[in-house]
């Protein structure tokens, strides 16, 4: 029998998503017959999910936060409540396909695997893979690189391979590992906390894997984007990208290049009247102290950033 898994889902009021996606998940768990469990974290702060979810799917556990704490802390609460060693963290907007879990569980049999991510199809489209994802350094700045997201055929995305990080919206890891580190509150309320957590694994000499044999669909609908002013979500992404760099860049040459890029970026954006970029920079620098404090708490790294960037990419 396969190892049991706790599926943990932080949620706001996403009843419609549960209605659409929960049946496939429960069917897969039932098919596995491994005593898996589903833990939903009600992060509305108003305990609005337990009733309807309990009535619809009595086997689903609901953990209700007393107040809205955001994605990272809600996930932590859910994982703390999980009963199994293996945790599949997922968002309610993910629709699992049959047989998605076993290939992931198999990967985690290897002790040096920190986390494993399935083939996540954006919008369910076979040629838009979100999770074959890497980081790269270009002109002094760290960038997210998702080469299989563009729709172009990419044979590498059909092979088991290392990736820079496991997308937090659908990935499998060990409960103990997560609780030992957790998501860094530096990135609250959202974005890049999953990258940071994967990076902790890489720094410790572990690996993060992409398992294309496991397939889920990300039925993205941008719920946050509808609740905040335009530009805020992008500002969060850009801010956290910089905070990640300030926390992790550990080689003087990279640091120098990075600082030089930041000065150039600031000057360019100011001269070109690109206000938004200046807002991102100022928004990030507003948290520079917190990033540097977080940097100080990092344990010694077995691998440098350059080495991780190299190893976390499949060989050409």
Site for other proteins in 186-205 (CB under 8 A): 188-189
Determine if 270 is a binding residue for other proteins (CB under 8 A): yes
Binding mask 280-299 for other proteins (x = CB under 8 A): -xxxxxx-xx--x-------
Determine if 47 is a binding residue for other proteins (CB under 8 A): no
Residue 303: closest CA among 221, 187, 199: 199
Binding mask 210-249 for other proteins (x = CB under 8 A): --------------x--xxx-xx--xx---------x---
Rounded to whole angstroms, the Cα distance separating 118 from 158 reads 11
Q: What is the DSSP string of 177-221?
A: HHHHH---GGGTTSSSHHHHHHHHHHHTT-EEEEEEEEEEEE---
Per CB under 8 A, the segment of 116-124, 169-177, 209-217, 262-270 that binds other proteins is 262-270
Determine if 172 is a binding residue for other proteins (CB under 8 A): no
Query: Could you tell me the smallest distance in angstroms from the CB atom of residue 232 to other proteins?
Result: 5
Determine if 263 is a binding residue for other proteins (CB under 8 A): yes
Per CB under 8 A, the segment of 80-88, 196-204, 208-216, 264-272 that binds other proteins is 264-272
Query: Could you tell me the smallest distance in angstroms from the CB atom of residue 231 to other proteins?
Result: 7
Query: Could you tell me the smallest distance in angstroms from the CB atom of residue 215 to other proteins?
Result: 30
Query: Could you tell me the smallest distance in angstroms from the CB atom of residue 183 to other proteins?
Result: 13
Lookup: tokens for 209: 């894997």
Asked if 119 contacts 210 with a C-beta cutoff of 8 angstroms, the reply is yes
Q: Residues 155, 222, 252, 300: which binds other proteins (CB under 8 A)? A: 252
Strand 5-11 and strand 37-42: the pairing is: parallel
Determine if 278 is a binding residue for other proteins (CB under 8 A): yes
Query: Could you tell me the smallest distance in angstroms from the CB atom of residue 32 to other proteins?
Result: 33
Strand 161-162 and strand 170-174: the pairing is: unpaired
Say how far residue 35 (Cα) sits from the centre of its chain: 25
Asked if 93 contacts 80 with a C-beta cutoff of 8 angstroms, the reply is no
3-state secondary structure of 225: helix
Q: Is the peptide bond before 189 cis (omega within 30 degrees of 0)?
A: yes
Instruction: DSSP letter for 120, please.
Output: E
Q: Residues 272, 300, 315, 316: which binds other proteins (CB under 8 A)? A: 272
Burial class (CB in 10 A: 0-12, 13-18, 19+), 30: exposed
Q: Residues 69, 75, 104, 135: which binds other proteins (CB under 8 A)? A: 69
Determine if 268 is a binding residue for other proteins (CB under 8 A): yes
Q: Residues 261, 290, 298, 301: which binds other proteins (CB under 8 A)? A: 261
Per the DSSP assignment, residues forming a β-bridge with 170 are: 90
Q: Residues 15, 81, 237, 279: which binds other proteins (CB under 8 A)? A: 279
3-state secondary structure of 283: helix
Asked if 201 contacts 299 with a C-beta cutoff of 8 angstroms, the reply is no
* CB of 12 or CB of 216, closer to other proteins: 12
Burial class (CB in 10 A: 0-12, 13-18, 19+), 88: buried
Determine if 81 is a binding residue for other proteins (CB under 8 A): no
Rounded to whole angstroms, the Cα distance separating 20 from 8 reads 17
Asked if 135 contacts 309 with a C-beta cutoff of 8 angstroms, the reply is yes
Judged by the rule CB under 8 A, the positions of this chain that interact with other proteins are: 12, 43-45, 67-70, 139-140, 188-189, 224, 227-229, 231-232, 235-236, 246, 250, 252, 255-257, 259-268, 270-273, 275, 278-279, 281-286, 288-289, 292
């Amino acid at each position: 029998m396969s190892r049991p898994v706790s599926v943990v889902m932080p949620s706001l009021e996403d009843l419609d998503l549960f209605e659409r996606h929960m049946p496939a998940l429960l069917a897969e768990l039932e098919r596995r017959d491994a005593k898996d469990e589903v833990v939903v974290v009600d992060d509305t702060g108003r305990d609005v999910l337990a009733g309807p979810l309990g009535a619809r799917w009595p086997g689903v556990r609901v953990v209700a936060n007393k107040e809205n704490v955001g994605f990272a802390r809600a996930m932590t609460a859910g994982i703390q409540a999980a009963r199994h060693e293996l945790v599949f963290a997922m968002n309610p907007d993910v629709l699992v396909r049959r047989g998605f879990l076993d290939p992931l569980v198999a990967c985690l049999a290897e002790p040096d695997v920190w986390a494993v991510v399935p083939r996540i199809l954006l919008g369910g489209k076979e040629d838009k893979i979100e999770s074959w994802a890497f980081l790269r350094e270009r002109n002094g700045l760290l960038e997210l690189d998702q080469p299989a997201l563009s729709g172009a055929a990419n044979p590498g995305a059909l092979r088991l391979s290392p990736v820079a990080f496991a997308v937090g919206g659908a990935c499998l890891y060990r409960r103990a590992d997560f609780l030992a580190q957790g998501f860094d509150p530096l990135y609250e309320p959202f974005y890049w906390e999953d990258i940071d957590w994967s990076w902790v694994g890489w720094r410790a000499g572990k690996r993060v894997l992409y398992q294309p044999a496991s397939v889920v669909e990300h039925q993205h609908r941008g719920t946050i984007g509808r609740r905040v002013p335009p530009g805020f979500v992008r500002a969060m992404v850009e801010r956290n990208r910089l905070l990640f760099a300030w926390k992790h860049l550990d080689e003087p040459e990279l640091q120098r290049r990075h600082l030089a890029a930041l000065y150039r970026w600031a000057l360019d954006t100011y001269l070109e009247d690109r206000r938004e970029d200046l807002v991102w920079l100022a928004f990030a620098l507003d948290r520079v102290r917190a990033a540097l404090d977080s940097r100080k708490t990092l344990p010694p790294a077995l691998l440098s950033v350059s080495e991780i960037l190299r190893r976390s990419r499949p060989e050409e």
